[in-house]
Amino acid sequence: MGDERFRLFCGLQLPGETVEALVAWQQRHLAAGRAGSSRTVPPGNLHVTLAFLGSRPAGEVPTIAGELAAATAAAGPVRLRPERYRETRSVGMIVLEDIGGAATALADDLGARLEGIGAYRRESRPWLPHVTVLRFRQRPHLVPPVPGLGEFRAVRSALYRSALGPGGARYDVLESALLESASL
């Protein structure tokens, strides 16, 4: 691995049926946002980010993955529910309700663990559970209905490598850990 660096983040993988429902919702309600410089996030990239680490030495991957696995093992069932659609200056997202607070507790625990090894610095604003569903250069000001997914449970936590390219980012799972909620 030598001097190689990876663009890394930790996230929650979504159940297959949740991804399928989000893709169908994107196709129905974000068509107006796909015009011009906008694009929907592809199914393989739909996730809930726990911590964005940025460019890190490849040699840190095993240690980061170990901290993610430890935080995941300590987490309770992660139950989420779509709450609202929100746009920032560059993305459209589905903000999620963290039912019971387990996702927030996992993000906090992971953040502390990663700070402890010098791989991460938490933001000053509170963590916001969400799934990015649209990327754009110019805000489309969409007002779609909230996806009718109901409550769902995150399946796994994962350490992702993000490779930027002309068609957008490609996310590769480097390591993952089963969440308690997936076995219930």
> Is-contact 175 68, C-beta < 8 A?
yes
Q: Which residues of 13-34 are buried (b: 16+ CB within 10 A; e: fewer)?
A: bbbeebbebbbebbeebbeebe
- The whole-angstrom separation of Cα 8 and Cα 80 is 24
Nearest to 24 by CA among 168, 145, 114, 182: 145
Sheet of 79-87, strands arranged across: 39-40, 130-135, 91-99, 79-87, 152-153
pLDDT value of residue 168: 79
Task: Show pLDDT as tens, one digit a residue, over the chain (184 residues).
Answer: 568 999 999 999 999 999 999 999 999 999 765 556 788 999 999 999 999 999 999 999 999 999 999 999 999 999 999 999 999 999 999 999 999 999 999 999 999 999 999 999 999 999 999 999 999 888 899 999 999 999 999 989 999 999 988 877 899 999 999 997 554 4
CB atoms within 10 A of CB 173: 14
pLDDT at 40: 92
The C-alpha atoms of residue 113 and residue 50 are separated, in whole angstroms, by 12
What span, in angstroms and rounded, lies between the C-alpha atoms of 157 and 144? Answer: 28
CB contact set of 168 (below 8 Å; sequence gap of 6+): 39, 42, 45, 135
State the pTM of this model. Answer: 0.92
Name the token pair of 90: 């560059």
pLDDT digits (tens, 9 = 90+) for 36-79: 678 899 999 999 999 999 999 999 999 999 999 999 999 999 99
